[in-house]
C-alpha cells in the first residue's frame, strides 16, 4: 500500500532526492533528469529505474540488515554490470562532466543514512551518484543498503581529497569513505559500480603510490557484523578496500579492476587489506590491480579467503607488518584457498619488517598460477633487505598445500627467516612449480627450524637480500 504514496511523491517532485517511506529511504541521483510524471505511465523498459519501485521494495524484503540473510543469490544477475570503460580519456571526461555540472550527491546520501541508517533500508536507484566529499557512515545500526547504480568519486577536486580524506591511522593512510556500525549490509547485486577515477590518481602519483591523502575507496571501520556483496570497482583511487578495527566482516562476490592506461603503473591499488580485525570472510572475488590482491596485515585474526582470481597483482599475502619494532603485530589463523593468479609478483607469501609480534597458523591451499615472478616468498626484512636476522617477529605453523603453476624465472620458493627467530612448523605438500620457459626451479631457504621435516627440498640458502621480485634467472 505504501507504494502508491511513494509513487505520488516521485511523480510530483521532479528532482526528488531522498524519499522516505516507513523505514526505507530511496535515493535517486541529483544529476539525472527526472521526468515529472507517474512512473506507471512510463513503459517498464524505459523507466529510470531498471526495476520498478515495487521491485526495489520487493528486493528490500523485510527491512533490516539481518532480515536479508541468508546470503543473496549470486550477485552476477541477469543484468550485466554497467562498466565504465576505464580509459584515461573517459576518466577525464567523467571528471569534466561532473565539474561542469558540479553535481554533488554527498549531502543527500548522508541524509538518507541519517534518516534510515538505524533500523532501516537505504536504496540507491540506478543512475550516477557523484560523490564529491568524504563520507563517515560509521554509526549505522541494523541497516540494509542496496545499490543499483554507479558511485563516481570525481578527481577534478584532488586538492579537496588530499586535505579532507579521513585518517585510517595505518601508515598515515586515509580514506574517502569510513563505513561501519553494527548489523549492516551493503549489496550491489552485480550492478553497483564504484568508479574512483583512479587513472587521475595514478598519473599524478607517477609510479609512487603513497601520496598522503590519496584516499582508499571504502574502509570498513569499527564495524561489527558487516556484509558487503556484489559490488564492482573500476579505477579505484588507492586501495579498493580496507578492513580495520572490525569484526565479523563478510565480503563476497566483488569484482575489482584498476589498470593503468598511461605510462605510469597502478601502484598501491590493493584489493583489500585487513588490520586490527577479526573474523573476516572474503570469497568469490575477481581482482585486477597493480598491487597486493589480498593482504592480511598486523593484528588480523581468523581471516578466511577463498575462491579468488587475481590478475597482475601481488597475490595472497600476509603483511607487510612489524614496521614499528616498539609495537608488536600479530597475525593468527589465516586460510587462503582456491585461488588463481595470473602475471603476479608473488603467489603465497609473507612479508615482515624486522619488528616484533608473530605470524601463526596460516594455510595456503589449492593455489594455482601462471607467470608468477617468485611464487613462494618469505622475508623478515621487506623493502630494506637489511637487519633481516635481527627480526623478532616469529613465523610459525604455516602450511603450503597443493601449490601449482609456473614461475617467471627459475625460483619456485625463496624463504629467509630471521636467525633470531627462526621459522618453525613449516609444512609443504603438493608443491609443483615449473619455470614457464622450461628447466627446473630452485628452492632457496634459510633459518627454517624444521627444514628437514618440512616436506621442502631446499636447493640452497636464501640470502636476506633476496628481492621480492627477480629480474631474471638466479
Binding residues for ligand NAG (CB under 6 A): 23, 63-64, 69, 71, 74, 86, 119-121, 136, 138-139, 142, 166, 178, 225, 227, 248, 250, 252-253, 257, 259, 276, 283-286, 288, 298-299, 302, 307, 309, 311, 327-330, 333, 335, 361, 366, 368, 402, 404
CB nearer to ligand NAG: give 225 or 407: 225
CB nearer to ligand NAG: give 68 or 416: 68
CB nearer to ligand NAG: give 119 or 203: 119
CB of 101 to ligand NAG, least distance (A): 25
Q: What sign has the CA pseudo-torsion 171, 174, 180, 186? A: negative
Cβ–Cβ < 8 Å for 427, 455: yes
Cα angle 52-136-317, degrees, rounded to a multiple of 5 = 95
Three-state secondary structure of the chain: CHHHHHHHHHHHCCCCCEEEECCEEEECCCCCCCCCCCHHHCCHHHCCCCCCHHHHHHHHCCCCCHHHCCCCCCCCCCCCCCCCCCCHHHHHHHHHHHHHHCCCCHHHHHHHHHHHCEEEEEEECCCEEECCCCEEEEEEEEEEEEECCEEECCCCCHHHHHHHCEECCHHHCEECEEEEEEEEEEEEEEEEEEECCHHHHHHHHCCCCCCCCCEECEEEEEEEEEEEEEEEEECCCCCCEEEECCEEEEEEEEEEECCCCCCCCCCCCCCEEEECEEEEEEEEEEEECCCCCEEECCCEEEEEEEEEEEECCCCEEEEEECCCCCCCEEEEEEEEEEEEEECCCCCEEEEECCCEEEEEEEEEEEEEEEEECCCEEEECCCCCCCCHHHCEEEEEEEEEEEEEEEECCCEEEEEECCCCCCEEEEEEEEEEEEECCCCCCEEEEECECCHHHCCCCCCECCCCCCCCCCCCCC
CB of 367 to ligand NAG, least distance (A): 6
CB nearer to ligand NAG: give 23 or 446: 23
CB of 212 to ligand NAG, least distance (A): 16
CB of 346 to ligand NAG, least distance (A): 17
Candidates 282, 252, 193; CA nearest to 72 is 252
C-alpha cell at 14: 521532479
CB nearer to ligand NAG: give 29 or 166: 166
CB of 13 to ligand NAG, least distance (A): 24
CB of 14 to ligand NAG, least distance (A): 29
CB of 368 to ligand NAG, least distance (A): 3
CB of 74 to ligand NAG, least distance (A): 3
CB nearer to ligand NAG: give 67 or 467: 67
CB nearer to ligand NAG: give 69 or 383: 69
CB of 342 to ligand NAG, least distance (A): 8
CB nearer to ligand NAG: give 103 or 348: 348
Cβ–Cβ < 8 Å for 393, 354: yes
CB nearer to ligand NAG: give 375 or 464: 375
CB of 473 to ligand NAG, least distance (A): 25
CB nearer to ligand NAG: give 268 or 299: 299
Q: Rounded distance, CA 254 to CA 243, Å?
A: 15
CB of 329 to ligand NAG, least distance (A): 6
Q: What sign has the CA pseudo-torsion 379, 380, 382, 387? A: negative
CB nearer to ligand NAG: give 130 or 250: 250
Amino acid at each position: 500500500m505504501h507504494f502508491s504514496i511513494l509513487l505520488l511523491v516521485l511523480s510530483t517532485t521532479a528532482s526528488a532526492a531522498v524519499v522516505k517511506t516507513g523505514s526505507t529511504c530511496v535515493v535517486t541521483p541529483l544529476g539525472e533528469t527526472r521526468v515529472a510524471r507517474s512512473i506507471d505511465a512510463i513503459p517498464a523498459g524505459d523507466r529510470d529505474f531498471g526495476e520498478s519501485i515495487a521491485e526495489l521494495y520487493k528486493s528490500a524484503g523485510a527491512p533490516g540488515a539481518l532480515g536479508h540473510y541468508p546470503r543473496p543469490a549470486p550477485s552476477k544477475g541477469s543484468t550485466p554490470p554497467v562498466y565504465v570503460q576505464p580509459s584515461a580519456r573517459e576518466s577525464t571526461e567523467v571528471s569534466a562532466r561532473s565539474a561542469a555540472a558540479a553535481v554533488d550527491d554527498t549531502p543527500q546520501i548522508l541524509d538518507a543514512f541519517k534518516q534510515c541508517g538505524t533500523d532501516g533500508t537505504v536504496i540507491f536507484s540506478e543512475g550516477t551518484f557523484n560523490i564529491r566529499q568524504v563520507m563517515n557512515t560509521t554509526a549505522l545500526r541494523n541497516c540494509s543498503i542496496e545499490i543499483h547504480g554507479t558511485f563516481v568519486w570525481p578527481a577534478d577536486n584532488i586538492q579537496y581529497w588530499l586535505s579532507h580524506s579521513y585518517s585510517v591511522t595505518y601508515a598515515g593512510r586515509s580514506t574517502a569513505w569510513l563505513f561501519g556500525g553494527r548489523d549492516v549490509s551493503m549489496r550491489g547485486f552485480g550492478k553497483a559500480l564504484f568508479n574512483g577515477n583512479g587513472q587521475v590518481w595514478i598519473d599524478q602519483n607517477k609510479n609512487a603510490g603513497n601520496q598522503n591523502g590519496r584516499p582508499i575507496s571504502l574502509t570498513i571501520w569499527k564495524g561489527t557484523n558487516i556484509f558487503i556483496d556484489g559490488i564492482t570497482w573500476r579505477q579505484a583511487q588507492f586501495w579498493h578496500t580496507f578492513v580495520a578495527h572490525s569484526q565479523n566482516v563478510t565480503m563476497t562476490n566483488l569484482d575489482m579492476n584498476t589498470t593503468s592506461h598511461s605510462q605510469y603503473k597502478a601502484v598501491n591499488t590493493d584489493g583489500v587489506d585487513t588490520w586490527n580485525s577479526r573474523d573476516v570472510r572474503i570469497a568469490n572475488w575477481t581482482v585486477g590491480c597493480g598491487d597486493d590482491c589480498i593482504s592480511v596485515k598486523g593484528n588480523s585474526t581468523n581471516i578466511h579467503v577463498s575462491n579468488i582470481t587475481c590478475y597482475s597483482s601481488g597475490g595472497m599475502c600476509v603483511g607487510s607488518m612489524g614496521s614499528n619494532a616498539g609495537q608488536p603485530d600479530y597475525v593468527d589463523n589465516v586460510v587462503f584457498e582456491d585461488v588463481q593468479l595470473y602475471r603476479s609478483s608473488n603467489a603465497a607469501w609473507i612479508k615482515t619488517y624486522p619488528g616484533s609480534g608473530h605470524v601463526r597458523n596460516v594455510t595456503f591451499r589449492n593455489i594455482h598460477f601462471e607467470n608468477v615472478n617468485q611464487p613462494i616468498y618469505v622475508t623478515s626484512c621487506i623493502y630494506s633487505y637489511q637487519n633481516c636476522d635481527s627480526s623478532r617477529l616469529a613465523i610459525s605453523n604455516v602450511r603450503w598445500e597443493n601449490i601449482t603453476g609456473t614461475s617467471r624465472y627459475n625460483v619456485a620458493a625463496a624463504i629467509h627467516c630471521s636467525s633470531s627467530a627462526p621459522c618453525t612448523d613449516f609444512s609443504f605438500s603438493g608443491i609443483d612449480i615449473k619455470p614457464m620457459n622450461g628447466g627446473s626451479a630452485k628452492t632457496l631457504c634459510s633459518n627454517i627450524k624444521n627444514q628437514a621435516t618440512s616436506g621442502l627440498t631446499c636447493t640452497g640458502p636464501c640470502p636476506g637480500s633476496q628481492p621480492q621480485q627477480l629480474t631474471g634467472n638466479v
